């Protein structure tokens, strides 16, 4: 599956709003259904943010439609960053999340000179767990019942990879 990544643009609002409101996508997230206005506010915030966030959209070159997002929230003081990714369900099981995450992890270690990249995922999110394991990230721990999603407390799994392991 071909795709490319680029910076988020304000014209991505329709695709992002659709993506973030898919049940399959937000069932492991702490947010629920987002209004168009919520999505616009989020996009405006990302576009005008400072340099501690790398936020890219993944685009299908055949349709010019956003098929996913990836972000790296950087903690410069600790030389670490949290990675997060979302892929449209129509594009699952094509290795897209693994491929783009590999690229951004390489960027984190080689260009940004970070020491650690980590992720925190819902313990029920088997697909994300597989991606993180494919990236050779190590399970560091479980935060028990630390997320309230749809009125239910859920555990988070915390994974990381160090520059020395990369």
**Share above pLDDT 70 across residues of the chain, in percent, rounded to a whole number:** 100
Mean pLDDT of 5-11: 93
Average pLDDT over residues 12-31: 89
Over the chain, what is the mean pLDDT? 93
pLDDT, one tens digit per residue, over 42-75 is 899 899 887 799 999 999 999 999 999 999 999 9
Rounded to whole angstroms, the Cα distance separating 100 from 163 reads 18
Q: Which domains does the chain have, with CATH numbers?
A: 4-165 (3.40.630.30)
- Residue 16: the pLDDT is 94
Q: What angle do CA 131, 137, 143 make, to 5 degrees?
A: 90
Q: 35 or 100: whose pLDDT is higher?
A: 100
Q: How far apart are CA 125 and CA 5, in angstroms?
A: 24
pLDDT at 153 over 90: yes
Q: Is residue 15 pLDDT above 80, yes or no?
A: yes
């Amino acid at each position: 599956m071909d795709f490319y990544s680029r910076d988020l643009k304000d014209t991505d609002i329709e695709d992002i709003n659709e993506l973030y409101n898919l049940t399959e996508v937000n069932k492991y997230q702490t947010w629920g259904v987002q209004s168009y206005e919520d999505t616009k506010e989020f996009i405006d915030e990302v576009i005008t943010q400072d340099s501690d966030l790398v936020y890219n959209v993944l685009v299908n070159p055949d349709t010019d439609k956003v098929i996913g997002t990836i972000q790296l929230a950087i903690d410069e003081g600790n030389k670490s960053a949290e990675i997060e990714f979302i892929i449209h369900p129509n594009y699952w099981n094509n290795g897209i999340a693994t491929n783009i995450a590999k690229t951004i992890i390489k960027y984190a270690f080689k260009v940004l000179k970070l020491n650690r990249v980590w992720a925190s995922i819902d313990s029920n999110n088997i697909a994300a767990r597989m991606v993180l394991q494919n990236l050779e990230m190590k399970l560091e721990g479980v935060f028990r019942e630390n997320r309230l999603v749809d009125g239910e407390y859920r555990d988070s799994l915390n994974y990381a990879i160090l520059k020395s392991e990369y």
